[in-house]
Amino acid sequence: MLKQKKVYLDNSATTIVDAEVVREMQSYFSDIYGNASSFHYFGRQAKMALNSARKKVADIVNAEPEEIFFSGCGTESDNIAILGVIAAHCKKGHIITTKIEHHAVLHTCKYLEKNGHEVTYLDVDKDGVISVEDFKKAIKGDTLLVTIMHANNEVGSIQPIESVASELKKINEKRKDKIYFHTDAVQTTGKIQLNVKKLGIDLLTMSAHKFNGPKGIGAIYIRKGVSVSPITFGGHHEGELRPGTENIPCIVGFAKALEISSNRIEKYSKKVFTLREKLKKGILNVIPDVIINGSGNKAVSSILNVSFSYIEGESLLLMLDMKGIAVSTGSACTSASAEPSHVLSAMRVNPISTQGAIRFSFDYNNTEEDVDYVLEVLPKVVSNLRLMSPVWNNQKTFKNKNEN
Ligand code: PLP
């Protein structure tokens, strides 16, 4: 039997772990397996690996090692940032976020709302980008935290983090109670050169599995001087902020993956941009009634979100899966829900188009052949699904009647 061709274009959900990262992690399972909190040789070796990984990550993002804390994932880092800042300031503060955040941020904000905090959700434009003016208008006397993602995970839109930070700096100069600024950089770490000082933020979330590192390991940058309380309790690990025995193999893998991806950002950007544009042009050339959601010059090059009108995204995803092509209907965490994407809704994409939205997301390991294969399969699959769609058939009949 012929082996089914496989094309993985769901790299915003997770990426393959780089072989060099796997090699680097290996000895921390079998040789250097001590607990980094133990005083003996095995523990000291693990502690050395932990310190050196922390320093590597800090150097890459232009932070101090004491400003980097490892966590269990991006979701946990977002929770530590938001709940931790609120807990440290022990008051019912106002929070500003956006309508297009990942659920790791949105659901945390909803939880705070239920507990008496006020939250403002900023609108986005048709490209999925917030307005700095809207942000300025949203500031209140009791605003305590701003949390705005760096790039969106469904459409790739990049938010004006530096401009928001510079406005916030001016506002903070005139206030007694400072407003803290957190950004979820899960979709940009290792893809855009991150410099925490240049960005001007106080807290930043990262997650290794999005840049060819292992799953289940995240990190958070917290600028020196920003008070953040722990949200889970136990031992003295990670500066008493995140208790629990450190996951040394994954921490080592995080640092190695960040090093590799940061060293090839230019090559990566060129490659994924070329692949995305090839797919975009190919789709627009041969498939009618498609809408590209976002993906302009205000977006990361790795994501192409396309609405195929008159069909269900889930059906398209399943048909492509049968042909060996892995894509997503949006965030992997929401793909089990029939709810339309909150991101596309916030961008005011027509509900019919929202239903047929598919996210193709690229990685350094994808090839031109991958795109060629998608362009060979996709038009037939879309056309077959449309033939089964009553909405498509009604619309065709209506068009034909009007043309006759
Ligand atoms: N934030 C964003 C923007 C994401 O895309 C994701 C994952 O899809 C997360 C947070 C959650 O990261 P993790 O899967 O490491 O919990």
Residue spans of the domains in the chain: they are 7-15+265-403, 19-263
Q: Report the separation in Å between the CA atom of 152 and the middle of ligand 1, taken as the mean of its atom positions.
A: 10
Q: Report the separation in Å between the CA atom of 126 and the middle of ligand 1, taken as the mean of its atom positions.
A: 23
Residue of minimum CA distance from atom 14 in ligand 1: 74
Residue type for 85, please? V
The whole-model pTM stands at 0.95
| Ligand 1 surroundings by CB, under 6 angstroms | 73-75, 78, 102, 104, 149, 153, 184, 186-187, 207, 218, 331
Active site (catalytic) residues: 333
Q: Report the separation in Å between the CA atom of 267 and the middle of ligand 1, taken as the mean of its atom positions.
A: 24
> What's the CATH architecture for 19-263?
3-Layer(aba) Sandwich (3.40)
Residue of minimum CA distance from atom 12 in ligand 1: 74
Residue of minimum CA distance from atom 5 in ligand 1: 153
Instruction: Find the mean pLDDT for residues 367-373.
Output: 98
Whether residue 51 has pLDDT greater than 90: yes
In 3D space, the residue among 77, 49, 93 whose CA is nearest the CA of residue 253 turns out to be: 49
Which atom of ligand 1 sits closest to the CA of residue 101? Answer: 3
Confidence of residue 334 (pLDDT cuts 50, 70, 90): very low
Contact assessment for residue 93 and residue 144, using Cβ atoms and an 8 Å cutoff:
yes
Confidence of residue 389 (pLDDT cuts 50, 70, 90): confident
**pLDDT score recorded for residue 330:** 59
pLDDT digits (tens, 9 = 90+) for 306-319: 999 989 899 999 99
Whether residue 1 has pLDDT greater than 70: no
Q: Report the separation in Å between the CA atom of 160 and the middle of ligand 1, taken as the mean of its atom positions.
A: 19
Residue of minimum CA distance from atom 9 in ligand 1: 74
**pLDDT score recorded for residue 91:** 77
Neighbours of 228 (CB within 10 A): 25
7-15+265-403: what fold? Aspartate Aminotransferase, domain 1 (3.90.1150)
